[in-house]
Structure 1
Amino acid sequence: MTTPHRENIHRAAARAALEVPGVAALQPTLADRLALAAFPVHRAMAPGTTPHREAAGIRCEPTADGGWNVEVRCILHADRRVVDVARQLREDVRTAVTTYLARHGTAAPVTVTVTVTSTV
């Protein structure tokens, strides 16, 4: 698995998550915040390099069987039922990642976990 391949999986998952009606934003993790804070230091110390950074609110990990576990942390609009948005979010992200993998010659199982951190 190459880094661009992994980053494309993150992008596909993030794009699908943000297109679900009722999703206000993706929730950045502490690691995202620390990475953003450290980026100027990293760039100054290693010019021309870019650290691998997951999309805010999306965490993707390959599984031992060649599949993927995708975790989505998000903030939802308060005028929507959380359970309905979470179900659609899970399905849309699974479909997007599965489609991306199929287009690139990898038929792999994808598991999606949705965590709603707050509503606005």
Structure 2
Amino acid sequence: MLTIPELIINSEDVTSAGFIPGAVFKIEQYQDGLVITLVSDEVEIERLLLEVDVPPDLGVDWVRDNGELYLAGEWLTQTSLAGQPLAISMMTGKVVIRVQQSNMLA
């Protein structure tokens, strides 16, 4: 049985950043992580839906009714985020997820 990696972000900051149930967002790889951006423009939403050319079992992402941002899919492995300590930054309309860098002193 295939196990799909998942990440659940459980924080009041998720809602404060605008990620509420029913919100439409896009996920993009960026450097050593992911950038998740809210999409509210109808034209952009339609464009994104037309571009979707991914097998339906590759990933599933949404904001749950309890406010959790739920992310699951092979891209968590492809971006080396799965199983790593993460640094998660939130701002209005955007969540940035990266591998946490260790603080090594020379």
Instruction: Please state which band the TM-score falls in when normalised by the shorter chain.
Output: 0.3 to 0.5
Give TM-score, length-normalised by structure 2. 0.33
The two structures have a TM-score, normalised by structure 1, of 0.30
Considering fraction of residues, name the structure with more strand.
2
Question: Which structure's CA Rg is the greater one?
Answer: 1
